[in-house]
Chain A
């Protein structure tokens, strides 16, 4: 997708980033906040201590899993906006499976493994639904995805206030926590699970190999570049569309499973934490090139962790991080467009 026009545009990309920072600085100035302090707090706030760096890495896990899934659907030319719901379904399936193991006496390792696999299945099924609606129903994946996101969220709320209610009365704080042994083991004295980090790196590595070096990846990309031509040339494009959705759903479901087993240890109303939509931004910012996924996901995770300091230190709303995350993509897209126009003219 216009790749050659974009490769090597590092100067342009830096200009885009500079403009995004300038835009956020202007907003800060207009609201009477100290722009330099706020932006540096946003970026460096995440690196103040080992504990915060660990937080950044932990935050990047579900984001990276979501991004790697989305790189597959993007390769197939699909806008999988339903990823938020796929993460949510992953979390629901994981909690559901783990609940079966409570008081069963089964080894926790087995329970966690089954829970993670269940989560992947949940995400994969929800994504398959969007894929089937597109292929057999002609429903654009953006709209089915949005609808399914809402359905997934209300399913969570229904479970929290209904069948999985806390003993006594249900509350927005979520279901009763699962037994602590059903959580992924954490590193000593740190709120991070090496297993979760490993899974996210494995996910991105598999996507890299899939898209770079396999026949399936090639056909996926062909479907994405030009579906009609691919179909005429004998690629079953419907099948590859479905494959892309399911693969993305599996990774999104795994992200949901990680949210349960490594972060919350229960089901909460907004279990996907917006990582799906953020993953879409990351995928766009790296121009769908897999190798950049890890550093950019880490940077976006750092902005999230850094923004927690905003209200505490500067009494600013933490949503500023989202403004910067969006502005970066917006201005990089704009600068890309300007470069292409200039090239055409010159």
Chain B
């Protein structure tokens, strides 16, 4: 019985991670192209609200997801236009949009607060869902969760195994070289900022039509998730597989904080709930500190053999962002 509950809990972790998976995959693609879209938090709220509103009005869950993707793409387009064409700071524009789209969600969503609406029906996959352990974990969900599995694989293969994926890597790492080779850098950036926005736009409806069905305004419990998604994107080292792993890890921590609460009575529940955030900072610390000034200076003082060992360790931990991330590209 204990074991069954564990499986059910872990299946829940996989399901609740799926909106975060959409968001980190979208942000990974956008940042790979050299653009940072900081507005993810507001985008998730706005697309959750509009996805729910459209689905509740039309009765079609599919249209709800389409609306979410469309609005996500639109916000991506605004980020692309202001940062690429108008060369304004990507951080500034993203931050403003993060706040504005959040309030827009609360304002426009107020008539829909607490209403009943459709939700994505469960869709256990025949035969596969009957396999012990693996079945309930991976094949007894709804289409949203299966889509998140598919998109992880597609994004990974697209980025590392296809010609356009190679171009994308080049645009983020060496835009000037990509340009010399005939790539329209800014067009690529537009494309991936809009595509990434559309993927983030899946996250909102994934919440409001499946994982946390409904729209509850400010108490929907979705405020903050987008900021976490941004941190997970870095944690994932701009690699779709690692980013998805980060999303599952985060969902696992949140679940553990709920489950362990009655066991660890000495620790207040608020401390457990917030545990993922210090861990996230710690992870960023681990992957980044090797490249800081003072560590470099210390290292150069070490004897040769020790230095080599430490360097190797740091290199294993280190993830480096796309070199051109956050910068504008101008043709000379």
Q: Closest Cβ of chain B: how far from A16's Cβ, in Å?
A: 12
Other-chain contact of A142, B91, B270, B293 (Cβ < 8 Å): B91
Of B55-63, B114-122, B200-208, B277-285, the one with at least 4 CB within 8 A of chain A: B277-285
Query: Which residues in window 47-100 of B have CB below 8 A to A?
Result: 82, 85-88, 91-93, 95-97, 99-100
- Does A327 sit within 8 A of B, measured CB to CB? yes
A-B contact pairs, 18 of them (CB 8 A): A133-B281, A135-B293, A136-B289, A138-B290, A139-B281, A139-B285, A143-B280, A150-B277, A154-B271, A155-B270, A280-B95, A281-B99, A319-B104, A322-B102, A325-B99, A326-B97, A333-B96, A341-B85
Q: Tally A residues with Cβ within 8 Å of B.
A: 49
**Chain B residues near A158 (CB-CB < 8 A):** 268, 270-271
Bound: A280/B96 CA distance, A: 9
A138, B110: Cβ atoms closer than 8 Å: no
* Binary contact readout A305-346 vs B (1 if CB under 8 angstroms, 0 otherwise): 000000000001101111101110110011011101100000
**Chain B residues near A337 (CB-CB < 8 A):** 82, 85-88
Bound: A316/B107 CA distance, A: 8
- Does A81 sit within 8 A of B, measured CB to CB? yes
Given contacts A147-B277, A338-B86, A341-B85, contact A326 B99 (CB under 8 A): yes
Residues of B within 8 A of A (CB): 38, 82, 85-88, 91-93, 95-97, 99-100, 102-104, 106-108, 110-111, 224, 227, 230-231, 234, 268, 270-271, 273-274, 277-278, 280-281, 284-285, 288-294
CB closest chain-A residue, reference B91: A79
A284, B92: Cβ atoms closer than 8 Å: yes
**Chain B residues near A327 (CB-CB < 8 A):** 100
A334, B88: Cβ atoms closer than 8 Å: yes
Residues of A within 8 A of B (CB): 27, 31, 79, 81, 133, 135-140, 142-144, 146-148, 150-151, 154-155, 157-158, 161-162, 238, 277, 280-281, 284, 316-317, 319-323, 325-327, 329-330, 333-334, 336-338, 340-341
B86, A135: Cβ atoms closer than 8 Å: no
Given contacts A139-B284, A150-B224, A154-B273, contact A323 B88 (CB under 8 A): no
Bound: A329/B294 CA distance, A: 38
CB closest chain-A residue, reference B271: A158
A143, B234: Cβ atoms closer than 8 Å: yes
**Chain B residues near A27 (CB-CB < 8 A):** 104, 107-108
A154, B292: Cβ atoms closer than 8 Å: no
Other-chain contact of B292, A136, A147, A316, A336 (Cβ < 8 Å): A136
B231, A138: Cβ atoms closer than 8 Å: no
B95, A322: Cβ atoms closer than 8 Å: no
Q: Closest Cβ of chain B: how far from A232's Cβ, in Å?
A: 13
Bound: A140/B96 CA distance, A: 19
Bound: A195/B34 CA distance, A: 48
**Chain A residues near B288 (CB-CB < 8 A):** 137-139
A137, B285: Cβ atoms closer than 8 Å: yes
Other-chain contact of A333, B92, B234, B289, B290 (Cβ < 8 Å): B92
Other-chain contact of B99, A140, A143, A277 (Cβ < 8 Å): A277
B230, A136: Cβ atoms closer than 8 Å: no
CB closest chain-B residue, reference A329: B96
A81, B95: Cβ atoms closer than 8 Å: yes
Q: Which 3 A-B pairs have CB atoms at the shortest separation, nearest pair first? A: A337-B86, A326-B100, A322-B103
